[in-house]
Each structure stands twice: as C-alpha cells, then as structure tokens.
Amino acid sequence: MRPLIGISSYGRAGERQTFSVPCEYVDAVRVAGGIPIVLPPVEGETVDPSHYGGDRHDANYGISQERDRFELALARAAIARPSLPVLCVCRGMQLLNVALGGDLIAHIPDEFGTSVVHRAPQLQAVPHDVRLDPGSRLARVLGETEFTVQSVHHQAVGRLGEGLRAVAWAEDGVVEAVESERHAFLIGVQWHPERDALSDPRPLRLFAELVACAGGYRQR
C-alpha cells in the first residue's frame, strides 16, 4: 500500500468558510507515490511571538492561537516519534523550530536588510538563490548545493531549536533549511518546493524521499 502523508491545511476563509490547501502539495505527494490526507487546522498565518518569548511586529498578520496550538501539538507529536518522517515547509519549518524551543526573527528586513527579497507584495513568491551544506542529507537528496528557490515569507528562524542544525542559507544569511540530528528524517525548508515539484526533478526528490521513508515507517 502507498503510505499516507498528512498535509496541514490553511485556515478558514471565504463567505462559506472552507479549509483549503494549495493543490501543488497534494499533486507533489501523489506524483511521489504517497496518498495525501489534508489535516484541517484553523485560521492564522503568522506564528504568535508569545510561543517563543518574542514581541509582536506590525508585519505579523492573521495570528490565530487556536491554529498555533493545533500545529504545535501536531509538530510535537511527530517529534516524539524519532522514526516518523516529517517534511516542514515555510511556516512549518518555523513551527518546528518553535516546537523544539527555538525562536523566530519577526521580520527579516529588520535583521538582514533588503539585499534579498523573500516575499513580494500581495504574498507573491519570489525566486532567490540558496546554498546548501554539502554534507547535509538535504543536499544529498536534492543532488545540488546551490540552486534557485521560490520564497514567500517575512519571518525566519532565529535561535535554533534543540537538535536542529542549519543546512541552507540565502545570500543575506537567512537560514533556509534545517535538519534534525536526532531523527531519521526531519527536514524543514523555508522555501516552497511544491511550487516547482512537477516541473523540476530536484524538489520532487524531496517529496519522493519523504514518501519512501514513510513507506518504511508504515511497515515497522
């Protein structure tokens, strides 16, 4: 049987409120050989700074304590199973870091300036280059140490959570990916690999590795 891959959805939206998830996540998991299962949380986008002892910033938007609680609980439940494969994308990487005791940079331009644009107006994705640690699992999976990614974020990880190490960076120094040193497959990427997964074999390899590891976990 193909392994089940849970995908946390976006929050409530619309006149008749619905939970949604971009089709690229579902398509990437399906093409990689998994069966996607959408997990509906509640509304909210920015991780509330109260979860890591930070201060509110004017750029924070759509904060929902309920969604934060749901996804942090989800992350902690996954972390408690070292052999359970987990891939965290964008907000997911930030939540992972907070769940492991790390904190976030509330607004990238305040700390790193604007030499690299990580998010365009109207929350549009922007391309920028990243470099990977050649010795990282992520580099081995993707088969590259430098490439262009699609980015949509204004926050970034700050102090790393327990057991995490940074394995990718943007040209301005923003951490773009992390790995766990204590788990079989626990990777967080700040960019959006699902946006290119059906047109570029490199990001699809990341989903394929997730599905392959999930298949092995299911059999144990």
Domains and CATH numbers, the chain: 4-219 (3.40.50.880)
Question: Which of 33, 39, 38 lies closest to 70 in space, CA to CA?
Answer: 39
* Rounded Cα–Cα distance for residues 117 and 137 (Å): 26
Average of per-residue pLDDT across 72-96? 94
Among the listed residues 90, 154, 176, 213, the single catalytic one is 90
Average of per-residue pLDDT across 12-24? 88
Residue 57 has pLDDT above 50, yes or no: no
Strands 175-180 and 164-170: antiparallel
What band does 68 get if pLDDT is binned at 50, 70 and 90?
Answer: confident
Per-residue model confidence (pLDDT) at position 129: 97
* Rounded Cα–Cα distance for residues 101 and 96 (Å): 9
Average of per-residue pLDDT across 155-171? 97
Catalytic, 43? Answer no
User: pLDDT for 131-147, tens place per residue?
Assistant: 999 999 999 999 999 99
Q: Is 143 helix (H, G, I), strand (E, B) or coil?
A: coil
Residue 61 has pLDDT above 80, yes or no: no
Tokens of 214: 């999930």
Poorest-confidence range of 9-23, 26-40, 89-103?
A: 9-23
* Rounded Cα–Cα distance for residues 170 and 150 (Å): 12
Catalytic, 194? Answer yes
Among the listed residues 128, 154, 183, 192, the single catalytic one is 192
Q: Which amino acid is at 156?
A: A
Dihedral sign computed on CA atoms, order 25, 43, 183, 105: positive
Average of per-residue pLDDT across 159-183? 97
Q: Are 159 and 103 in contact (CB under 8 A)?
A: yes
Catalytic, 23? Answer no
Among the listed residues 71, 176, 179, 194, the single catalytic one is 194
